[in-house]
Amino acid sequence: MNILLVEDDTTLNKNIREYLQQESFDVEVVFDGQLAEKLMKKNRFDCVILDVNLPYKNGYELCREFRAYNKSTPVLMLTAFDELEDKVKGYDCGADDYLTKPFYMKELAMRVMALIKRNNNSIPQGNHEIISVEDIVINQRTKTVKRSDVEITLTPREYQILLKLALAKGELVDKQELVREIWGGSFDANTNTIEVYINFLRKKIDKPFDKQLIKTKIGYGYYLNI
């Protein structure tokens, strides 16, 4: 598995690279945003580990631009801050996960593995590539979403949440189950990250249209109003 590590702290960069290599990852490292941008366009990676504060171009800009042409490769962002605003900004740029410094190397490796595994498992099997719910059409092969024939751009995590709700066909999806299946066991299910994503989805899926489909059952989970 090929990882791109973008971190300008030379000591941390070295420590992360060595640990991930011990865990059998192939790791390519860069130290600034400009070089990272070139590599992200030129090469394919199984996961990108992206620091927020970088020389020349920061992680938010890199992630947003990356998502314009690559919606599938997982991105894990690293930051020195644990503020909700920073996390929301990172997720809004298309990041899949967020890890605050300092962190345990084992947790980083677990999160990277979980992101790669979920991305690989998202490839559809059989003849159920198209999922339709009300006026929403989800193409699992291309990972594209339309509502009333209007194409809607979703981040990978937004897409996975919507797909999970659509497959439930109006049944309640437990919040803990949703977090566990999409983020894995290493994710803190007590955080309000899932609410942040649901709000993002509502702005894209519901707000521009007449019928509001994404509903919350407080204390339990979410469902599509069909």
CATH of the domain at 70: 3.40.50.2300
Which of 10, 143, 157, 152 lies closest to 76, judged by CA? 157
74, 99, 121 — which closes off a domain? 121
Domain final residue pick, 80, 101, 121: 121
The pLDDT tens digits of the residues spanning 138-195 come to: 988 888 899 999 999 888 888 889 999 998 889 999 888 887 777 665 555 455 778 8
Residues 181 and 211 in one domain: yes
Does residue 182 share a domain with residue 97? Answer: no
Question: What mean pLDDT is predicted for residues 20-37?
Answer: 94
Looking at the structure, tell me whether residues 184 and 159 fall in a common domain. Answer: yes
Segment holding 174, helix H or strand E: strand 173-174
If asked whether residues 139 and 85 sit together in one domain, one would say: no
Last residue of a domain, one of 121, 146, 174: 121
Answer yes or no: are the C-beta atoms of 141 and 199 closer than 8 Å: no
- Please tell me the distance from the alpha carbon of residue 151 to that of residue 149, in angstroms, as a whole number: 6
Same domain, 99 and 171: no
Q: Is the pLDDT of residue 3 over 80?
A: yes
Residues 99 and 158 in one domain: no
Mean per-residue pLDDT over the chain, rounded: 86
Q: Which of the four pLDDT bands, split at 50, 70 and 90, describes residue 125?
A: very low
**Are 41 and 64 in a shared domain?**
yes
99-104 contacts, C-beta under 8 A, 24 or more apart: 101/12, 103/78
Tokens read off for 130: 């198209």
On whether both 113 and 155 belong to a single domain, the answer is: no
Q: Which residue range forms the structural domain that includes residue 47? A: 2-121
141 and 117 both lie in a single domain: no
What is the band of 128 on the pLDDT scale with cuts at 50, 70, 90? low
Which secondary structure element, helix H or strand E, spans residue 161, and what is its range? helix 156-167
Whichever domain contains 220, its CATH number is 1.10.10.10
The answer to whether 185 and 118 are in contact (CB under 8 A) is no
For residues 93 and 139, membership in a common domain is answered with no
In the predicted model, is pLDDT for residue 126 greater than 60?
A: no
- Please name the amino acid found at residue 221: G
Do 65 and 138 share a domain, yes or no? no
Q: How many domains does the chain have?
A: 2
Residue 14 is encoded by which pair of tokens? 């070295």
Nearest to 33 by CA among 55, 11, 14, 12: 55
Count of CB atoms situated within 10 Å of the CB of 122: 15
In this structure, the answer to whether residues 30 and 61 fall within a common structural domain is yes
